[in-house]
Structure formats: C-alpha cells, structure tokens
Chains A and B, each alone.
Chain A
Amino acid sequence: MDKTFLVFGKELRVMYRDRRLVLGVAITSLVVMPLLMGLIGNLDRLTGSSAAPVDLVVERGDTIAGRLLAAHEGIRLHRDRTTVNATGNGYLTLLRDGATYRIYTDGTDSRLTAKAREIRDVLDRERRRVFEARLAARGLTTSALDPFTVEIVDTADEQARSRLLLGVLVPYLVIILLVSNAIRAVYVAVGEKEKNTLASLLVSTVPRRSIVLGKTLAIVTFAVFASSLLVIGLILFANLGFTVVPTAGDSGFALSPGQILEITINISGLALFIASIIMLLGTFARTQREAGVYTSPLIFVSIFLAVFSFSSSDFSMPVYAVPILGNSLAMKDTFLGVFSPTHLALTASTNVVLFLLLVEGSVALYRRESVLFRP
C-alpha cells in the first residue's frame, strides 16, 4: 500500500507542476464555465427580452379586447398593423370571428407564445364573468349549466420544487463534470509510455497493482478536485449576484448531513468507476492521441445515461445496478428525499465491483510486455 501512495504522490506532483493543465483547469472551472452558465442563467436579464412589451394588434372595432388588454402588463396595443410592422419584431394579432377569438402567434417565438396564453386567460376570465352575469340576470347560478369545474392545484412548496430542480440538474452536471475531468487526466495512464519513463518504473520492485492503483487514485483525485473547483467557481459567481444555476435560491432548501453522506458515497463510487475505465483505456493506448480516441465515446455514453435524471418515470431496482445511470437516479432520489438504502447500496457496490474488475484488467495489461512494446 505504501508503494501505491508513492506512485499516487508522484503522479499528483507531476500533475500540479503541469502549468498548462493547472491553468486550463483553473480558468475553465473558475472563470469560463461560471461565466457561460451565468450567461445562460441571466440571458433574459442581459438581453432585456422578458421585460420588453409584446406588440398586439387588435381590430379597431373590438372594444372588449381593447378595454381588457389596454392596461395589461407587458402588452403594447396597436390598432393598425402598419405601426407594428415598423418595429421589426414579431407580434400577436387578435381577431374576432363571431363568438370566437383567435390569437395569431409565431410558435417558434416562446415570448409571443407565453404572452398569447396570458391573453387567452384574460379573455377566458372575461367570458366566464359575462356568462355568470347573464345567468344571474335570469336567476340562475353557473352550477345549473356547468355542474363542476376542474382545477389542478400545485401543493408543492418552494423547497419541494427546488429539490426537483436540483435532483434533475445536479446528477447530470456531476456526471458530466467527473467524466470530462477524468478524461483530461488520461495523461497519468498513457503519459509514461509516450515519454518513455515507464520502463524504469517496471524494472523497480513496485508491484504492477500498486502502479495501477496509484495512477487510478491520481485520476480520481484530479477529477474530483477539478469538478469541485467548478462548484466553487459557481458559488463565487452566485455570490456576485449572478444566477448560475436556475434554482429557487431563497427556498430555504438545504441538504441534511445524511443526504451529504449519501451524495459522497454515490460520487466516490462513480469517481472510482470512471477513473478505472480511463486507466484501462490509457493503459491500452500507446499515445495520448490514441487514448483520446478511446475515451471520447465515454462522454457521449455518460451524457446518454445521465440524462435519465430528467425522466419522471419510476425505475425498477435492477436499473440502479447500471453504472452512471444508477448513480444519476440514486442522486436524484437523495435530492427528492425518497432515498432508498437498497438502491444506493446496489449502485455503490456495482461501482466498486466494476472498479476492482477494471483495475485487474489494467494490472493484467501491465503484466504483459505489450504494455511497453506493442508489435
């Protein structure tokens, strides 16, 4: 074990002295990614698009719509199409055809579509008010003609909505971050071959397993560290007043110590599994370029599996044994407060078993002379 840590320490030392790698990680994690996510989170504020009023063309003779919508927030009323055309932006048109109102919108413009729904609701409320008034004038109540109405009432509080949002976003982000940062550390596995330093390690008394474990742990450390740095970068940006992740920030939602432990177990298992894959692929490759070819599909597979956190379906127990997918679902369960020890145990133990198998695979490759001299 001592020799494993000697190899691990050497790899960390070599990595933190790689100025390009350290600068790349620091700039990406602390500046570029928070800026990009900040841009996405603040797109509306930066472009002013949500604040800008939507142009609505209403027929001159339509007094009802004119009265109801003239003072409605976020709508600029026009009676003539020519005036609205001059703005160059998209606009809504409200036309009355007998008893039917039609709102013409552009379905590709989400701003117009959202405003069209608002206008429909305003007109619908007015329709109901007139309907009730006419019935009342005849001594009737609405229940005579309309026995019941159906409404969906969202009982979820702000905290529950935050949980769902985090449960969907966090697993996805964590998985993508860990995989992409572990791939950046593939140098640990393949660099010694490319730089012709591996032979001296192989003729020393260090066991092959210690070499593989030391290097794999270095990949784990780098991936977790680089991913944590991004989280720190996001927190720093959030403290500067940017919305970096669209969560309900003031909901009062906080993780309990138990949930933190669940997430730690989950991420540790995931990091071990991913690092051992990178180590195996890096051990097989002869150059960093070749390793890049082998590892790049991993990011697509991870995105595909991680995206299941967005699904609202209930998954059966065996699904939790699928690495990455199981991690994604177990992490979502933690955020939603529906944690199942069996599910997490299944996911974590699958991660550990696969980690051990993949490490053994790398050790087997290290025991072959082709690790150095592939004909």
Chain B
Amino acid sequence: MIRTENLTKVYQSRREGRVVAVDHLNLRCEAGQVYALLGANGAGKTTTLRVLSTLIEPTAGDAYVNEFSVCRDKAEIRRLIGVVSYETRVYERMTPREIAYFFGRLNDLSDATIKRNLDFIFDLLNMEEFADKRTDRFSSGMKQKTVIMRALVTNPEVLILDEPTAGLDLLTAKNVADYIRLLRDHGKTIVFSTHVLWEAEKLADTVGIIHRGSLIAEGSIAELQAQSGQRDLEDIFFTHVGSQPVQLLNPEGSENRHG
C-alpha cells in the first residue's frame, strides 16, 4: 500500500524564490491497485513520485510504501520499488542485458533469478532482438523499453512510473499498458503519472487529480463521474482543474525541475 500524509515539498529556488511543489497531499493506493496521478505540467506529480522513490525528502508530512516511511526507512523502500521516469536515461555503453545484470546484482538477486526475470521481460517488451546491443544507437522507444526493463528486472512489489509511455510508439505504449495491467493482476501496487487520459481510464483503479500541489479529486472513474456529473475523463479533469490553459498553470515551465 502507498499513502501520503500531509505531504509537503517546498523548494527554495534562486530564480523563483519559494516554490510550493506539493502542498499537504493525502493520497492512498491500496495494495495490488493501480493509481493514476493526473495533472498539468508543474502540478506536483513528479515531485510526489520522487518523494515516494526516496530521491527527495519531504519538507513536511510523510509518505509510506508498505508502511515504510520515506523519511526513516529508505533502504527498506528501495528494496520494494522499481522506478521508471521519463527523465531517466540508460547507460549508453552497455547493453540492456548488462544493465539488467548490473541492477539485479546491486539488488542482491542471483544470476539465475535475473535470467528468469529477463526472459519474461524481454519477451513481453519484444526486446530479445536488441538485448545484446549497446544502447547508444537505440531509438527513443528502445531506450524507454530498456528503462522499463531495468525497473522490472528486480521484480519489485511496488512500481512508481513517471510518464512511463512518454516517447513510445503506439504499439509499445500499448504493450507497456498491457504489462501494467498484468503486473496489477500479479498483485503489484502501481502508481503512475500520465498526461494520456486513456491510459488512466483503462488502467487505473483509482485516479487522483493533482493541481498546484494539492489533490483536488480522488476516486474510481465511476466515483469521479458521479462527483463531476461528466462521463468523459477529459471533461472530469477540466471540471476539477478549471478551464485555464495549461501554460498558465506553470508559466516558468518548471515541471522538469520541480514538478
């Protein structure tokens, strides 16, 4: 299970001064569920996922992964999670297989376990063909598959995915979406952020809409439909967020650094 309790993250930026990226956020994702975090650029999605990934410390409040605190139990949480981010790249002078063995061994897996996990992942993501080629000549889609493979090779209980299908072609994006569903069926807990509404609609048990660092709506698609009186997720989203153009939400385009 993943939950946050009044999670707050404030940055002191030299250029922008005090930036409240996440503001008293309370979300809850039950074990074995898929939670989709929807929001515009700069809404606080990436910051929330970075806190859950133990990459950054909350300014106030706390977040829990299987009841381990991100403030106190980082080592335990790192054993449980696999992280995919649209920002993360792969080692350019290594092959996907080498990367998988490197991260598998870092996470104390035996070579036999890594091989077993890899056979399954390579087949699922159609990676066998380029599994032993260096990644420096890969297309962005092949690189993204490698990033996903690296997160999955440890067979983590919890997956934290920050826009996992960004840069992927439709077919691969669908494969990744199918894989998320498959992982959910295997009891994994998954939190992912996305701009692609159909992904949230098809995959998520719970959708959270985040705006300016606060969770402004949360529930199943049916619950959100009932709350807003809208059928379509896009309409639901705009009902909650308002009709402001996306640029106005983040005039500095700070999603990459703070969002």
Interface on A for B, CB 8 Å cutoff? 3, 6-7, 10, 13-14, 17-18, 195-197, 199-206, 369, 372-373, 375
Residue of A nearest to B12 (CB): A375
Q: Are B87 and A196 in contact (CB under 8 A)?
A: yes
What residues of A have a CB within 8 angstroms of the CB of B72 in the complex? Answer: none
B69-113 interface with A by 8 A CB criterion: 75, 78-79, 81, 83, 85, 87-94, 98, 102-103, 105-108
Shortest distance in angstroms between B152's beta carbon and chain A's nearest beta carbon?
A: 12
CA A128 to CA B91, docked complex, whole Å: 80
Return the CB mask of B1-27 against A: 1 if under 8 Å, else 0: 000000000011110000000000000
CA A82 to CA B56, docked complex, whole Å: 85
B45 lies within 8 A of chain A by Cβ: no
Q: Are A197 and B106 in contact (CB under 8 A)?
A: no
Shortest distance in angstroms between B80's beta carbon and chain A's nearest beta carbon?
A: 10
Q: Are A195 and B92 in contact (CB under 8 A)?
A: yes
CA A195 to CA B258, docked complex, whole Å: 18
Count A-B contacts at CB 8 Å: 74
What residues of B have a CB within 8 angstroms of the CB of A204 in the complex? Answer: 78, 103, 106-107
Shortest distance in angstroms between B17's beta carbon and chain A's nearest beta carbon?
A: 10
CA A14 to CA B147, docked complex, whole Å: 17
Q: Are B102 and A375 in contact (CB under 8 A)?
A: no
Q: Are B106 and A199 in contact (CB under 8 A)?
A: no
Q: Are B93 and A13 in contact (CB under 8 A)?
A: yes
CA A163 to CA B142, docked complex, whole Å: 59
CA A9 to CA B180, docked complex, whole Å: 33
Q: Are A196 and B89 in contact (CB under 8 A)?
A: yes
CA A372 to CA B258, docked complex, whole Å: 12
Shortest distance in angstroms between A130's beta carbon and chain B's nearest beta carbon?
A: 80
B163 lies within 8 A of chain A by Cβ: no
What residues of A have a CB within 8 angstroms of the CB of B89 in the complex? Answer: 195-197
Q: Are B93 and A373 in contact (CB under 8 A)?
A: no
* Most-contacted residue by chain A among B87, B91, B94, B105 (CB, 10 A): B91
CA A3 to CA B75, docked complex, whole Å: 14
CA A262 to CA B112, docked complex, whole Å: 45
* Most-contacted residue by chain B among A17, A204, A372 (CB, 10 A): A204
Interface bracket on B = 35 or more
CA A10 to CA B95, docked complex, whole Å: 12
Q: Are A200 and B83 in contact (CB under 8 A)?
A: yes
B57 lies within 8 A of chain A by Cβ: yes
What residues of B have a CB within 8 angstroms of the CB of A195 in the complex? Answer: 89, 92
A-B contact list, 23 entries, CB within 8 Å: A3-B106, A6-B102, A7-B106, A10-B102, A14-B91, A17-B93, A195-B89, A195-B92, A197-B91, A199-B55, A199-B83, A200-B88, A200-B151, A201-B106, A202-B54, A203-B54, A203-B78, A203-B81, A204-B107, A205-B79, A205-B106, A205-B107, A373-B56
Shortest distance in angstroms between B107's beta carbon and chain A's nearest beta carbon?
A: 5
What residues of B have a CB within 8 angstroms of the CB of A17 in the complex? Answer: 93-94, 134
Contact of A199 (CB < 8 Å), options: B11, B81, B88, B94:
B88
Evaluate whether A13 and B94 lie within 8 angstroms (CB atoms) in the complex, with A200-B103, A203-B83 already known: yes
Shortest distance in angstroms between B219's beta carbon and chain A's nearest beta carbon?
A: 29
Shortest distance in angstroms between B62's beta carbon and chain A's nearest beta carbon?
A: 16
Nearest 6 Cβ contacts at the A-B interface? A17-B93, A369-B56, A196-B89, A375-B13, A203-B83, A206-B106
* Most-contacted residue by chain B among A7, A18, A195, A205 (CB, 10 A): A205
Shortest distance in angstroms between B119's beta carbon and chain A's nearest beta carbon?
A: 21
Shortest distance in angstroms between B2's beta carbon and chain A's nearest beta carbon?
A: 15
Contact of A18 (CB < 8 Å), options: B54, B93, B257:
B93
B53 lies within 8 A of chain A by Cβ: yes
Q: Are A369 and B88 in contact (CB under 8 A)?
A: no
Shortest distance in angstroms between B251's beta carbon and chain A's nearest beta carbon?
A: 17
